Amino acid sequence: MNPQRLALFSAIVRAGSISKAAATLGMGKSVMSRQLAKLEDDLGARLIQRSTRRLTLTEIGELVFAQALDIDRAVANIEQLTEQHQNEVQGRLRVTCPRPLGQRYLVPLLVEFAQRYPKVEVSLSVDDRMVDLIAEHIDVAIRVAHLEDSTLVARKLGENPRVLVASPAYLARAGTPQEPTDLHHHDCLVYASGARVFDEWSFNRDGITTLLRVPAKLQINDGMALVAAACAGGGVLVIDRLLVGHELADGSLMQLLPDYQLRAGQPVYAVYPARPWLAFKTATFIAFLQERLFA
């Protein structure tokens, strides 16, 4: 039996409804309902009689809830015993994030965070796969994606729009495109993964969308390698703005066609396992990222 599902069941009973419990814990109502159903499957018994107006505990539900309250009280007692610890950022903070974001932004921020809170130890796993946070004991994951509904809690850190960029040296040699169709005559740097080549670029202005397949002069399966190619004058690139913020600021790259909107990029989230309480070190780190990542 999953102890987290037992904690969610207790939260539902104490809140009086699934929707109120979901709002309190920052979870989706559908996620909460599925976890309750899985707990009932695990136990082989219905715990709550559901109706449109109210939730009623079954006989076995009453017994399980009494035990769940004992667990809640034990957790509360432990929190009181460690109050000083919980109100000071200390201990090991385990973080995971995609490789490009880690290399470009997160590592310097983690150094700053560790310096600000000297009693914390940070362990970073830079990994492009979808890490199982619970199985691998991860406190928080930074994910750049449109997230699917899950048992995890996601807190949005910011938007990450895509931009069209090229180096001044390339533009001096090849000219500056004035409209999307000009890209047919430019060297384009394209992300490729296996047999998939992402050479279809979309531009929108005044409600009119231009969709074109660009000549993929150079195909690379790594975002930061594409940025390096663009800085070296290799061609024109569509990339997440977060990955070229430094280059745009120092003039190594220039944004092109700023009046056009590109296909929406993927937002950035801090994701962590659903719990009745969030460790102080984790909450502080997420607040730090909200303050600094898109500053």
For residue 168 the two structure tokens come to 């001044």
pLDDT of residue 227: 94
Beta strands 268-273 and 140-144 are antiparallel
| Amino acid at site 89 | V
Residues 6+ apart with CB under 8 A from 266: 144, 145, 146, 160, 240
Residue 35 belongs to domain with CATH number = 1.10.10.10
* CB distance 159 to 242 below 8 Å: no
Q: pLDDT means per 10 residues in the chain (295 residues)? A: 78 82 79 86 85 78 82 63 62 87 86 92 85 80 75 83 96 96 95 87 91 92 92 95 90 96 84 77 90 79
- Taking CA atoms, 34 is separated from 8, 131, 138, in Å, by 11, 22, 23
Co-location of 73 and 145 in the same domain: no
Co-location of 172 and 99 in the same domain: no
Residue 257 backbone zone (phi > 0: left; psi -120 to 50: alpha; other: beta): left
pLDDT of residue 204: 92
For 254, the domain range is 162-262
Co-location of 151 and 184 in the same domain: no
Where is the domain boundary, 28, 51, 81? 81
Question: What is the C-alpha to C-alpha distance for residues 125 and 117, in angstroms, rounded to an integer?
Answer: 20
Residue 240, SS3 per DSSP: strand
Q: How many independent structural domains does the chain possess? A: 3
pLDDT of residue 53: 66
Question: What is the C-alpha to C-alpha distance for residues 180 and 177, in angstroms, rounded to an integer?
Answer: 7
Co-location of 189 and 140 in the same domain: no
Question: What is the C-alpha to C-alpha distance for residues 214 and 191, in angstroms, rounded to an integer?
Answer: 12
pLDDT of residue 280: 82
The predicted model scores a pTM of 0.61
Co-location of 271 and 155 in the same domain: yes
* CB distance 10 to 75 below 8 Å: no
Q: What is the pLDDT of residues 185-216, one digit of tens each?
A: 999 999 998 888 889 999 999 989 999 999 98
Beta strands 162-166 and 254-256 are antiparallel
Co-location of 59 and 151 in the same domain: no
Co-location of 254 and 276 in the same domain: no
Co-location of 115 and 166 in the same domain: no
Identify the residue whose tokens are 């809640």.
72
Residue 120 belongs to domain with CATH number = 3.40.190.10
Question: What is the C-alpha to C-alpha distance for residues 114 and 29, in angstroms, rounded to an integer?
Answer: 36
Long-range own/partner contacts, residues 125-128 (CB < 8 A, 24 or more apart): 125/94, 125/95, 125/96, 125/97, 126/96, 126/97, 126/98, 126/99, 126/102, 127/96, 127/97, 127/98, 127/99, 128/98, 128/99
Question: What is the C-alpha to C-alpha distance for residues 197 and 194, in angstroms, rounded to an integer?
Answer: 8
Co-location of 135 and 57 in the same domain: no
Co-location of 20 and 55 in the same domain: yes
- Taking CA atoms, 218 is separated from 30, 181, 226, 227, in Å, by 44, 19, 9, 12
